């Protein structure tokens, strides 16, 4: 068994390699102390069935740890891989158990893997691969909350930490979910502060609620907080974050994006190297904030020695829940916002690239079949496609992810179907694409933590009733109330997001909140350079991130505007498109041909 761990920060101790940090009761463990947790578990294992025994004891040890880490445990007989509940640090391995690495490309090259047509198609139309597979045959990835055992070509997988929202058992617990969320958040922030020590906390500050919740909570604790934002001046995401930072009284750094600099960033050796290292074969590398991190650090505007905390949260899958027939609803709970959005959607995505991010126009049948169709239509939509064989394969993959090992008859009512959907997105999308954002922080050489994926917050969110999970309702209420308490703004203003900010507010934002930048950020112009309405953002020249500048002009002219930047990148990654020069294979009608067996 080869073990090739390429990233920084690994500690190797007596056949055990660990990276990251975790809490065991009140103790914060990292390095050798974290490795000893698994070393002790190996010592307790029985020798009759090494793979089963060691895997079970390692899973038991992992279940006591709460944090963000990965581990590789090697014994004379077996190798065990451990992923935390967010799969913040993925590990890759081959089906024969001959090599393990923290980079999928290393495993692919070692076994000379070919492409898998089904998973490549899934990646092409979603930008991630659901399940443990990658786009390469026989190359697999750890899943969140999973322990993988490898022995002489045998692979065993067991999930020690699942995510499955359940309705509270009594009415009292159902009535006050925000209070229980707030208590869990305080514990998560206590842990964050233990990890940060006396270092400042840096947040990618967006126009949504997640980063606002973190910033407001940390300001209330008298922590030194620094926010940074990126995109085009005048974009609602930029202007809301500018206002939030100003009202909270925290340092705020803004890096403007434009087409010319994107072309330079994307095609420079640093950009090529980052994308190669960050692509493990299971998710498109996250790009939105990668240039901002590098540029702001190089210019000394944000500190290298700080703890970086993106606002990715367990609550995000709840904002795309379908509404089921027969479901009783009490009215809408409020609009949700993104994690580190710069385009009005949760991961720098536009609405057309992902599908609905709020209540659908019509309800769907309360059945497993209708739910799998909803997932297919909502998430498998980067490109237009028409392939019956892949459709059946995709529906089966979705069905497996929704069920999570449960029997179909266990998912027959809105509550259980909603849990199945959120479970699918937790494992299939959040842990691959969204949390893959952490590779950008590692590329920049900074330390990170995920407070809103802390297991204590995850457990609290699992107990929020379905009606209060919709559109992240309870989470949004907690964010708005925390912000109000920290700034003394009105409730309406506390709930203002990039989705609701008026053009008038966008024009006045700079003068209201950072007036000294009037003649530097906008060269003295009264109007911001970006005031395009959301409906125009699909036009590459009017996109708020300006990242279409990375693509050759002639290629852009021949590709339909309806296909977004993520679609063009998945086509490029699968060899269907060259972003640097036009070729005959450009899918001009927006429809792509699927890979076949």
Span 206-255, pLDDT tens digits: 999 999 999 999 999 999 999 999 999 999 999 999 999 999 999 999 99
Element (H, E) at 109: helix 104-111
Residue 464 burial by Cβ neighbours in a 10 Å radius (0-12, 13-18, 19+): buried
Which of 253, 281, 238, 148 minimizes the C-alpha distance to 510?
Answer: 238
Residues with pLDDT less than 50, the chain: 332-361
Q: Could you tell me the domains of the chain?
A: 2-159 (no CATH), 171-314+444-518 (3.40.50.620)
Q: Output b/e per residue, 531-567; b: 16+ Cβ within 10 A.
A: bbeeeebbebebbbbbbbbbbeeebbeebeeebbbbb
| Other Cβ atoms within 10 Å of 463 Cβ, number | 18
Distance CA 475, CA 472 (A): 5
| Contact status, residue 111 vs residue 98, Cβ threshold 8 Å | yes
Alpha helices in 112-235 (DSSP H): 117-126, 171-175, 177-196, 210-220
The closest alpha carbon to 440, from 347, 518, 349, belongs to 347
Query: Which contiguous run of DSSP H or E holds residue 251?
Result: strand 251-256
- Give pLDDT, residue 46: 63
Find, among 535, 485, 502, the residue nearest to 239 by Cα.
502
Phi, psi of 177 (to 5 degrees): -65, -30
> Considering just the CA atoms, what is the radius of gyration of the chain in Å?
23
First-to-final CA distance of the chain? 30
The closest of 373, 432, 377, 434 to 402, measured between CA atoms, is: 373
Instruction: Quote the pLDDT of residue 171.
Output: 58
Bridge partner list, 136? 115
DSSP 415: H
Residue 204 near residue 311, CB atoms below 8 Å: yes
Give the DSSP H or E segment for 457. Answer: helix 455-462
Distance between CA atoms of residues 34 and 381, nearest Å: 42
pLDDT in tens, 392-423: 999 999 999 999 999 999 999 999 999 999 99
> 546: closest CA among 295, 271, 348?
348
Cβ–Cβ < 8 Å for 424, 398: yes
pLDDT, position 52: 83
Three-state helix/strand/coil letters over 133-164: ECCECCEEECCCCEEEEEECCEEEEEECCCCC
pLDDT of residue 522: 87
Q: Beta strand 99-101 with 92-94: parallel, antiparallel or unpaired? A: antiparallel
**pLDDT at residue number 584:** 73
Measured in degrees and rounded to the nearest 5, phi and psi for residue 146 equal -120, 145
Separation of alpha carbons 93 and 264, rounded Å:
34
> Which residues face 27 on adjacent strands?
24
> In this structure, what are the phi and psi dihedrals at residue 482, rounded to the nearest 5 degrees?
-65, -40
Write the DSSP symbol of residue 115. B
Is 230 strand, coil or helix? Answer: strand
């Amino acid at each position: 068994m080869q073990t090739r761990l390429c990233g920084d920060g690994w500690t190797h101790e007596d056949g055990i390699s660990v990276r990251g940090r975790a809490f065991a009761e009140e103790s914060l463990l990292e390095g050798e102390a974290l490795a000893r947790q698994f070393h002790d578990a190996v010592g307790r294992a029985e020798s009759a069935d090494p793979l089963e025994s060691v895997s079970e004891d390692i899973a038991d040890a992992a279940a006591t740890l709460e944090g963000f880490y990965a581990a590789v445990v090697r014994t004379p007989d077996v190798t065990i891989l451990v992923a935390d509940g967010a799969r913040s640090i993925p590990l890759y391995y081959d089906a024969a158990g001959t090599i393990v690495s923290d980079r999928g490309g290393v495993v692919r090259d070692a076994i000379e893997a070919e492409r898998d047509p089904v998973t490549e198609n899934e990646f092409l139309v979603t930008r991630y691969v659901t399940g443990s597979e990658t786009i390469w045959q026989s190359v697999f990835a750890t899943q969140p909350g999973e322990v993988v055992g490898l022995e002489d070509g045998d692979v065993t997988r067991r999930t020690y930490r699942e995510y499955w929202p359940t309705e509270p058992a009594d009415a009292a617990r159902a009535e006050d979910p925000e209070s229980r969320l707030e208590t869990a958040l305080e514990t998560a922030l206590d842990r964050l502060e233990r990890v940060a020590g006396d270092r400042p906390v840096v947040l990618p500050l967006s126009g949504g609620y997640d980063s606002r919740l973190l910033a407001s909570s940390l300001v209330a604790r008298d922590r030194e907080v620094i926010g940074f934002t990126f995109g085009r001046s005048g974009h609602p995401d930029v202007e809301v974050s500018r206002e939030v930072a100003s009202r909270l009284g925290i340092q705020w750094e803004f890096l403007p994006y434009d087409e010319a600099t994107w072309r330079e960033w994307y095609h420079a050796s640093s950009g090529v190297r980052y994308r190669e290292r960050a692509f493990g074969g299971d998710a498109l590398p996250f790009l939105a904030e990668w240039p901002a991190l590098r540029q702001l650090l190089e210019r000394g505007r944000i500190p290298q020695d700080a703890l970086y905390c993106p606002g990715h949260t367990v609550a995000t899958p709840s904002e795309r829940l379908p509404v089921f027939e027969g479901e009783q609803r009490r009215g809408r709970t409020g609009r949700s916002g993104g994690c580190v959005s710069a385009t009005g959607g949760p991961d720098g995505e536009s609405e057309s690239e992902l599908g609905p991010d709020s209540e659908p126009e019509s309800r769907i049948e309360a059945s497993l079949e209708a739910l799998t169709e909803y997932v297919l239509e909502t998430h498998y939509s980067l490109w237009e496609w028409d392939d019956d064989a892949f459709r059946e394969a995709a529906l089966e993959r979705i069905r497996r992810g929704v069920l999570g090992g449960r029997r179909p008859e266990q998912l027959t009512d809105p509550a259980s179907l909603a849990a199945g959907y959120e479970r699918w997105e937790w494992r299939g999308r959040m842990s691959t694409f969204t949390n893959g954002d952490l590779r950008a922080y590692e590329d920049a050489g900074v330390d990170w933590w995920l407070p809103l994926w802390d297991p204590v917050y995850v457990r609290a969110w699992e107990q929020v009733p379905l009606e209060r999970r919709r559109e992240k309702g309870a989470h949004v209420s907690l964010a708005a109330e925390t912000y109000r308490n920290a700034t003394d703004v009105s409730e309406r203003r506390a709930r203002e997001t990039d989705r609701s900010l008026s053009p008038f507010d966008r024009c006045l934002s700079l003068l209201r909140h950072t007036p000294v930048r009037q003649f530097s950020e906008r060269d003295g112009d009264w109007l911001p350079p970006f005031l395009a309405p959301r409906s125009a953002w699909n036009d590459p020249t009017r996109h708020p991130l300006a990242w279409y500048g990375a693509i050759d002009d002639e290629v852009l002219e021949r590709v339909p505007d309806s296909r977004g930047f993520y679609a063009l990148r998945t086509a490029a990654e699968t060899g269907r498109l060259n972003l640097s020069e036009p070729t005959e294979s450009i899918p001009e009608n927006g429809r792509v041909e699927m890979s076949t067996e």
